Every structure is written in C-alpha cells, then in structure tokens.
Amino acid sequence: MYLLKRQIRRLYEQLLYWDFLYYIKRTPEVSDNAYDCARDELAYLERCYPGLCICSRSGLFKKKKHILPMLSLRTTYNKEDMLLFDKRIRNRLKDKPEADVVYCCEIKLDGLAVSLLYKDGCLVRGLTRGDGIYGEDVTSNVLVIEAIPNKLLNDGSLPHILELRGVLVMSNYGPNILTRFSNYKSNYYSTPRNAASGSIRQLDPTITSKRSLSFYCYEGHSILPGTSPLSISHIANLNKIISWGVPVCEHRRTCVDIKEVFRFYDEIKRIRFMLGFSIDGIAVKLDSIEHQKKLGVSTKTPKWSIVYRFSSEEKMTKLNKIVFRVGRTGILTPIASFNPVSVSGVTIRAASLHNISFIRRLDIMANDTVIVRRSGDIIPQVVRCIPKYRTANTKQVVFPLYCPSCFSLLTKALTKDKVYLYCTSGLSCPSQLKASLKHFVSKYAMNILGLGDVIISKLVDYGLVLNSYGLYYLKAKDFMKAASIGLNLSHKLVLRISNSKRIPLSRFIYSLGILKIGRLTALSIASSYKTLNSLLLADITSLASIPNVNIKAASNICLYIRTHNNIIRSLASILDIF
C-alpha cells in the first residue's frame, strides 16, 4: 500500500509539472504519448484506490464525466505493426467472408479532442477529452466557435440525445498565425494541439471566438433512446453526421485490404503540408460496427482501430554555438550548430534560427540543450530549449555589432514583428557578393553549370570577380589560379559562361536577385515591359499595377535599378536579352 501511495504521489507531481510546462510555459518536454500514459495510469490508480487519492487535479474548468469513455487510439510508426494489426483482425474475423473486412481510413488531425452533447439537435454541453473518463466542461467556449454548429439540421433521423466527438484544430497552423495573438513569449503556442488547447481553455469565451478554430467530427453515438451506434458502419455514421450539418474531414477512404491502407497513407503523407492544418498520421478503423463489437476493447484502446503516424521524430542535443551568415540581401541569419544527431534516419548538425526575434522568443542561449526535428521531414529546425539543463557554461547569445564578412557596422531592420540584423555594404561585402553570384548562376537564373559555391567563393577571395558582370571577363587561367582546377575544366567553364549570354528578360530579372522578386514575379514583369530599357524607365506605381507585384516588390525593383544602374547597363551591353 505504501508503494502504491508513493506511485500515486509521483505521478501526481509529475503531471502537475508537465501541465505547468504545457499550459503555462508552453514548453512541453515530453511527448503527448508519454503524458497520456502517465495521466491514464494515475486515473486508473485513483479509480481503484479512491482512499489513496491526493486530490483531484484541479483546473480552471469543472470536471464532468463522459457518458461513454473517450478511449485513446493505439498508435504506431511501423509498417510491421500495421501488418500485424491487419493479421490479428483477419484471424479474429475468420468466420466472416474475407471481403467483409473493410477499413475506413481518415486523416488524424493534430488538435484537441472534444465531446459535444446535443439534445434534440441543440448543443448543450462540450467537454475536453481529459483523461477519457472525466473531461473539462468548456460548454461556454464551444458555443462561440463558429465551426461547431449550435443547432443540427433535423431530417427526422436525429437521436433525441446525441454525442459527437471530434477534433478542434487551429486552421492554417503556422508560427505567424500563432504569434499574431500576442507578442509575449508566454502566449506563444509551440504545437498545433497546444494552440487548440490553449484557445478552448480561455476563461473569456470572446477570446476563443476570435481564434481561427476548425472542428472536424470523427464519430457519433446515440445516447437516447438507448446508447447505440448511429448505423451499421463507420462510414455510414459519418455520412449521417454530415447530413446533420456537422463538418467531417473530407480526406477519408474505405479500403478493402491493408495495401490500400498503405496507399492512402502514402497519398496523405505527400499532401499533408498542403492541407492547411496539422495532421500526424491516419486513423484506420474497421468499418463494420458489428465487427468492431466482435473485436472489442482492451483496457485502454479499441482493438479495431489504430493510428498510423507519420514520423516526426524529435531529438535532444547540445547547441554548441551560433554563427551569423550574411545572405544575398545583406540580412544576417543566425545558424545554430549542435552536436550531430540522427533524426528520422538523417544526421543533422545545424539549423537556421531565422532572426533575432526567433532567438528571443525561444529564449535560446549558447550551450543550451535543445530539441531539434526535421520540419516537413526535411529542414532541420530547433523546436525549443530545455532551460532546466542549463549550466554555468550557458550564456546569453551575443548579437554582433559588425558584419562578420566585411566588418562594417550592422543596422537593425524591423519587418512586421521580426527584428533582423542587416549589412548595408552591398556587393562590397564578400558574403553578399558570393551569395548574389551563386544566385546569378543558378538553374532558373543564368543557368551556368559547374560554377559551384566553392569556385565562386575562391574567385571572390582572390578578388577576381567584383560583380556578376565580372564573370564574363574571367579567363581559364583565373579559374586555374583561384580554384586550382585543370585547364580543360577551366576552358569549359569559360565557354559555359559565354554561352549563357542569350537569356529571356524574365530570367535576367530573376538573376539580379532583387528582394521579393521570385520567378513568377519576374515573369509577370517581363511580360508587361517586354524590354529591359522600358523596365529601366518604370516607376513604382506602374510596376505595382502588374499582377503578382505588390508595392513592396515594386519599390525594391526601383531601388535596385537606381543603385545598380551601372551593373545592369554593363550586363545589358554584353548579354543578348530577349
């Protein structure tokens, strides 16, 4: 009994601490899964040994019991587990015709699960999932969320009392959307689920109503008359729910075998970053309600369902130093270099920290312990730091006063709510020159093959190129001297540079590397002005009237033309721009 008491206290204190990190500090340090396990274990022990309860974990909202337990779903990242899941189900249903085993697959939204109770079609109660048995009463908040219907359409099939379950998600989840709510770090939500949770758990419902929350229903039950499913299959349930005017996520499919499930998984994985909200995998459920009943439920999860998650592995590592890299436009980007760590099978060792505001918002310090991941499974990203692992070696980030490349005094630039450091030396700053040459020769600009970063860097270091125009006067011996490459390759490079001279106007505009002028904008400008000479005479108003060119881009072009007139005219004199 003593051990049990100690275990309950340990779980209780651990959860209190994690709640504090999650809800107050917005810096969760454990996975949702680890949190859910601890919470469910505590709830189980408290139910079995009510005499040992410390006290109910009090919150801002009243706890209410769910009519039917809101079980969590089993999750996996492994294909093998999915094959086993399928095998187990087919074994259990071997007395049924093979063709009857059908799965319904839906996307698994990364948000906050809620239960909504409707009486005669009117929304009367909203609970968060909580521990699955008790949830927090957030009725006053769900009533003001536009995406949740307060009244259902009644086609005559509506149960007297109906429970709908669904997920609240922050639409178009992105750092901009989240930070827009407040400039204070304490109000920054680090994950989509955190954002939805923070939005619904507002004491003032008007704040909730202003958040762009979407709601997608994933199941429903008739509570009265009698607790029962709505129809004979999961997909039919969803269609019924849609007919009552409730949003259900459109990305779902019935699959006749596990191969089709894998195909759906792959398709969703490909488009997941274009969906406008965050998802973390697909939920696979047996479609037939009769089959679901036959499979039954284990202590925590239904046996007929599983979530096949996309890997978005996060790893902890040690941040060693932050260096500042000067880009093409003079903006300094802080780069965090950390101890190499393998994330989803790829070793990463550095990540961009974007700007001063980002470092301040995440409260990152030199020598911090940080959590890293690969954003979109590709780009290394520092997610947060863990202040409790700080030592005497951890130091505030020192922002440079002078450009690390040309040593000129830096200026601070403020765009929207972000603060950048900025070197104003232009092409006389070696780093800016290298970056702008790299852009100039790139595939969608002048497309000069073989002129890579290393060669460009050496040419600049030797003082052989001062601007893009200078590239056209390089001789084979220059390449041999600066980049230590052979005569043949040097001749080839000279020839390739020379061959790049005939170029469409749009590519030439893009190659100049003007801030905010991408390929599409360059194309719009070229098709409006037709010739370089007429573009050189353009003013901001006429430029801004072109499709895809906003006032900022238009003023950048005018400024560039004014400050780089000589280079543009020199290039025009040797290029064949059409």
Question: 381 pairs with which residues across the strands?
Answer: 373
Closer by beta carbon to Zn ion, 198 or else 330? 330
Q: Does 429 bind Zn ion (CB under 5 A)?
A: yes
CA gap 342, 373 in Å, rounded: 9
Q: Is 421 in the site for Zn ion (CB under 5 A)?
A: no
Distance CA 474, CA 501 (A): 14
Q: Which is nearer to Zn ion, 85 or 560 (CB)?
A: 560
Residue 108 is a catalytic residue: yes
Residue 423 within binding range of Zn ion, rule CB under 5 A: yes
Q: Phi and psi at residue 230, in whole multiples of 5°?
A: -80, -30
Q: Does 436 bind Zn ion (CB under 5 A)?
A: no
Annotated binding site for NAD(+): 32-36, 72-73, 106, 129, 285
Q: What is the full DSSP assignment across 554-567?
A: HHHHHHHHHHTHHH
Does 306 contact Zn ion by CB under 5 A?
A: no
Contact indicator for 252, 237 with CB cutoff of 8 Å: no
Containing H/E element for 349? strand 346-352
Closest separation in Å from C-beta 339 to Zn ion? 29
Question: Do 317 and 339 contact (CB within 8 A), yes or no?
Answer: yes
Query: Within 13 A of 371's CA, how many CA atoms are on the CB side?
Result: 18
Query: Number of H helices and number of E strands within the chain?
Result: 21, 21
Q: Which long-range contacts (CB under 8 A, 24 or more apart) does 523-528 make?
A: 523/548, 524/548, 524/549, 525/549, 525/557
The catalytic position among 25, 64, 108, 321 is 108
Tell me the closest approach of the beta carbon of residue 472 to Zn ion, in angstroms. Answer: 25
Min separation Cβ 406 and Zn ion, Å: 3
| C-beta closer to Zn ion: residue 429 or 494 | 429
Binding residues for Zn(2+): 403, 406, 423, 429
Is residue 457 at the binding interface for Zn ion, with CB under 5 A as the rule? no
Tell which one of 200, 406, 471, 474 touches Zn ion (CB under 5 A). 406
Asked if 403 is part of the footprint of Zn ion (rule: CB under 5 A), the reply reads yes
Cβ distance to Zn ion smaller for residue 45 or 423: 423
Among positions 191, 278, 288, 405, the unique one binding Zn ion when judged by CB under 5 A = 405
Cα separation, 195 vs 189, in Å, equals 5
SS3 at position 213? strand
How many residues touch Zn ion (CB under 5 A)?
Answer: 6
460 binds Zn ion (CB under 5 A): no
The nearer residue to Zn ion, 127 or 410, going by C-beta atoms, is 410
Given the rule CB under 5 A, which of 46-54, 66-74, 80-88, 399-407 is the region that contacts Zn ion? 399-407
What x-and-dash track marks residues 120-159 binding Zn ion by CB under 5 A? Answer: ----------------------------------------
Exposed/middle/buried for residue 113 (C-beta within 10 Å: 0-12, 13-18, 19+) = buried
**Residues identified as active-site:** 108
Point out which residues bind Zn ion (CB under 5 A). 403, 405-406, 423, 425, 429
